Structure 1
């Protein structure tokens, strides 16, 4: 397909050869869009980003606008697609990667890091082009109306999750927007719950290397994380609704219905064990050009559209939506399907790289704690012939596939004490011995 967007200027990888050149090209293009009234100037809004401290791919932001007593939720996602020509060197390299690769010691970004940090990342005080959606919700969390457009924002604050939690919790009169946004999106969350959504929030652990030292970082569910999660789901919901209404071929995410999961969560005191029993019975979500029901989200249709800096399918969604807004040619359904097929291989390769790194990181952690007796809980048998079992490590807040030296007739939630026994050369599974 020849993408003939009037908004697509001749930006090549050569133009992006230095940070200064990329900034100048980006700012020049944004000014052109503003002059042509292609961007809606939203720099007057008090806009927040909420991310982990080390995040450099800041691709989402939220704002609250009050008009005639009505509270309007704004969700903004960085727009790299306008500035990266289709089939350019940068575009093809991003498609080849399919996703940013997150390792224990570093990140391999999908897009060139200097472009992300200098142009696309939503940094406080920097004016950035976005795909922005305004939404009005009623008291029950129903979507009353929405509007999708190109936006131009200047985030007021880059907050960490802890900083956002404080603003939500204390809601100072001069800075109560986040608290109001949290209340509005909690109503949307309750709406999804009524419509069958399943919430599997729990603490989770991640092994990281900071200044050469390996640590375990436990992330707890929080008000700010729920706020971000719900706003991203809402954005993906509206993009999917719009694409379905306008017959725009995009990658939709769907998940078939399954039997009632309430009966699966009785009889255990650990949230991770309850969630594991639910996840075991959930069908796998799929990506295709057909809009369909998403069971665990409680939605009629859904698309992932909030991470175009680090996920190529999201970048693809932006191109399709923005192309439609600009009344320009877009990919056909067949072309989208072909791209999704090509992405499957590269995505699997990226996932395999991250899994190899994770396994190596876990092995190093357990080798440093080789004499420690770990308190674990049985979740399920993964392979009886190979002796592979899924165990929950409470101290680490992790579910790990483990090879055990012997197997028993255990029930979900049974407590097992084990000690590390290394990784056999022929295996990619952590090996442990049961403590008698």
Structure 2
């Protein structure tokens, strides 16, 4: 702030807003002339006197050669005035020398202060300040060069650490990016995703969603204990079949017939993964396997699956559930044993062709009775489109999953095991997570696509609770998940409790079970969301790679000015504006309009 407010003389050199000015006229206010000839009327306190003049024009303030460095060295650490410093450095106190000195003071390196009190800084301070300024100038230049490279989509190899800042925003680990703001992009994950593609740091098809959802991204790597010696029932004389999709890598269930009894064998994961072990804690923290079109991230180390997956070894250890299903489809005579089984692996397609053969015909008859009972008790019939999405060498393959009897057979057998275990645990007060689901908002049981879509939307999420409650969607009063311990933590927890009960050792208490399920469910939410968004992402990649795609969409809901359509061959839901007169279950031919991968959106147009 100026300290001299005495009215300066006419034609004097003054400082106005850090710029030189000449006093051109005096009065109640002062007229000053600026560089370029402009004039301005100011108050005395708005200016500061540098030299009394005379100064005829600002152009006379020409650069001068002087000895300012020598003057600094001579005066280092002392205080001086503008006049004294000008006379020492330029042998004269003129408007030009005063201005030259003041420019050095304004620079603030060797000299700081006011015209009447200039501090001459020490060498140590000057050298430190100079180094800081040079470092800042280099950083500013590097920053400008970085922005220029990124704007031109030509990042350098050593730019990766800087781009990590944008990546953190793109995957939801940060809410802002200085680089993104400087490039003129919005501070959102979607905008960061788009910028990383434009810059060339991410390939166009990059899938950020598992990381953005907080799902695990690498397989677990922990040592695996040896299988303990335990008494097991030898069932290797029974033919056992692990029936799954072609290429499945984690077979954890198989079926056998023993007279009227159906055996559901499940990989005995609890034999290796004990409560509170490192393996159990890590599985709990992950919640479930993460199934992505581009691969699987396992809840447990691959070595556990290799040792316990049914049919991966000649003889496999299992936790086996024996049940009988009466003529009404009700379960009775439940048994649980630790067993040895010899398992043959088959695909759904193979079994579909052999359903008329033994033992598959008998298995089908049993599960058909059980399914009929569930539907009689209110289970929902949903036959909505489903697809398998796989990415191999960057190519997306989408394959519709037909409704196979073999798939229903296996699904119902697993439900039988879940009901049997839930009833047994309830009868023996074994604390486990029971699965329940309230009835849907809609009671319409029609088989058309629009009705099933509405019914699915009316379902509440399945909950895990400590007391058995009805699972409306399955039509069961007792149910727990017990057949996928290799890939789902809640199933593993049920197995650990069953094994403790069989051994007569202390069970986990209800509060312990609740705490474990609460932790695992939080992780499972991230896994399920990562799977859902990843499937959507790769479906959109497929459409982007096939811009001439055409297909059919079925109208499953009508909203104000828009219709909701399901595209069966993609199992994809979309909304679009349609003409008046469109009705539910009407089929429309569609073409791709636009695909936006960062926004995870696609628009279609009606053809014809």
TM bin, normalised by shorter chain, reads 0.7 to 0.9
Partner in structure 2 of residue 237 of structure 1: 419
Query: Which string of whole-angstrom CA distances, capped at 9 and with x for unpartnered residues, describes residues 204-252 of structure 1?
Result: 2222124543222111122211110110000000010011111111111
Q: Computing the radius of gyration over CA atoms, which structure comes out larger, 1 or 2?
A: 2
- Contact 1:202–1:220 under 8 Å retained in 2: no
Q: 1:194 to 1:260 in 2, by over 3 A?
A: farther
Q: 1:358 to 1:394 in 2, by over 3 A?
A: closer
- Aligned counterpart in structure 2 of residue 206 of structure 1, from 377, 388, 393: 388
Q: Is 1:393 equivalent to 2:567 in the alignment?
A: yes
- Aligned counterpart in structure 1 of residue 321 of structure 2, from 112, 133, 136: 133
In 2, Cα distance between equivalents of 1:280 and 1:101: 24
Q: 1:348 to 1:137 in 2, by over 3 A?
A: closer
Give the TM-score, by structure 2 length.
0.60
- Aligned counterpart in structure 2 of residue 56 of structure 1, from 249, 254, 257: 249
Partner in structure 2 of residue 419 of structure 1: 591
Stretch moving more, 232-241 or 335-344: 335-344
In 1, Cα distance between equivalents of 2:264 and 2:407: 15
- Contact 1:48–1:61 under 8 Å retained in 2: yes
Query: Which string of whole-angstrom CA distances, capped at 9 and with x for unpartnered residues, describes residues 372-418 of structure 1?
Result: 34321222368x7xx9864211333x142x35367978543233444
Q: Is 1:352 equivalent to 2:565 in the alignment?
A: no
Deviation at 1:152, TM superposition (A): 1.8
In 2, Cα distance between equivalents of 1:330 and 1:426: 48
Written as runs of structure 1 = structure 2, the 5 A alignment for 1:87-106 is 87-106=276-295
Query: Which string of whole-angstrom CA distances, capped at 9 and with x for unpartnered residues, describes residues 85-104 of structure 1?
Result: 32322222211211111111
Q: Is 1:261 equivalent to 2:449 in the alignment?
A: no
In 2, Cα distance between equivalents of 1:366 and 1:203: 18
- Contact 1:363–1:422 under 8 Å retained in 2: no
Q: 1:193 to 1:152 in 2, by over 3 A?
A: same
List gaps (5 residues or longer) in structure 1. 1-12, 17-21
In 2, Cα distance between equivalents of 1:388 and 1:320: 51
> How many positions carry a matched residue from both structures?
388
In 2, Cα distance between equivalents of 1:314 and 1:415: 41
List gaps (5 residues or longer) in structure 2. 1-220
In 2, Cα distance between equivalents of 1:260 and 1:427: 32
Partner in structure 2 of residue 40 of structure 1: 233
1:122 is paired with a residue whose SS is coil
Q: 1:403 to 1:182 in 2, by over 3 A?
A: closer
- Contact 2:288–2:527 under 8 Å retained in 1: yes
- Contact 2:442–2:454 under 8 Å retained in 1: no
Deviation at 1:254, TM superposition (A): 0.9
In 2, Cα distance between equivalents of 1:399 and 1:283: 21
1:227 is paired with a residue whose SS is helix
- Contact 1:202–1:221 under 8 Å retained in 2: no
Which protein, 1 or 2, shows the higher relative CO under an 8 Å CA cutoff with sep ≥ 6?
1
In 2, Cα distance between equivalents of 1:64 and 1:358: 37
2:368 is paired with a residue whose SS is helix
Q: 1:424 to 1:218 in 2, by over 3 A?
A: closer
Q: 1:241 to 1:64 in 2, by over 3 A?
A: same
Deviation at 1:326, TM superposition (A): 1.2
Q: 1:367 to 1:410 in 2, by over 3 A?
A: same
Partner in structure 1 of residue 161 of structure 2: none
2:467 is paired with a residue whose SS is coil
Written as runs of structure 1 = structure 2, the 5 A alignment for 1:274-285 is 274-285=451-462
Query: Which string of whole-angstrom CA distances, capped at 9 and with x for unpartnered residues, describes residues 44-98 of structure 1?
Result: 11111101121111000110112xxxx1111111111121132322222211211
- Aligned counterpart in structure 2 of residue 320 of structure 1, from 481, 484, 497: 497
Q: 1:381 to 1:328 in 2, by over 3 A?
A: farther
- How big is the alpha-carbon RMSD for the aligned residues of Structure 1 and Structure 2? 2.5
Stretch moving more, 345-354 or 97-106: 345-354
- Aligned counterpart in structure 1 of residue 552 of structure 2, from 375, 390, 402: 375
- Contact 2:450–2:556 under 8 Å retained in 1: yes
In 1, Cα distance between equivalents of 2:462 and 2:516: 18
Partner in structure 2 of residue 301 of structure 1: 478
Deviation at 1:424, TM superposition (A): 4.4
Q: 1:140 to 1:110 in 2, by over 3 A?
A: same
Q: 1:388 to 1:81 in 2, by over 3 A?
A: farther
Deviation at 1:185, TM superposition (A): 1.6
Stretch moving more, 184-193 or 310-319: 184-193
- Aligned counterpart in structure 2 of residue 115 of structure 1, from 304, 307, 332: 304
Partner in structure 1 of residue 487 of structure 2: 310
In 2, Cα distance between equivalents of 1:55 and 1:239: 25
Q: Is 1:168 equivalent to 2:355 in the alignment?
A: yes
Query: Which string of whole-angstrom CA distances, capped at 9 and with x for unpartnered residues, describes residues 264-304 of structure 1?
Result: 527x4xxx434213212333322111210111211111011
Q: 1:230 to 1:431 in 2, by over 3 A?
A: same
Q: 1:203 to 1:420 in 2, by over 3 A?
A: closer
In 2, Cα distance between equivalents of 1:377 and 1:404: 12
In 2, Cα distance between equivalents of 1:321 and 1:144: 18
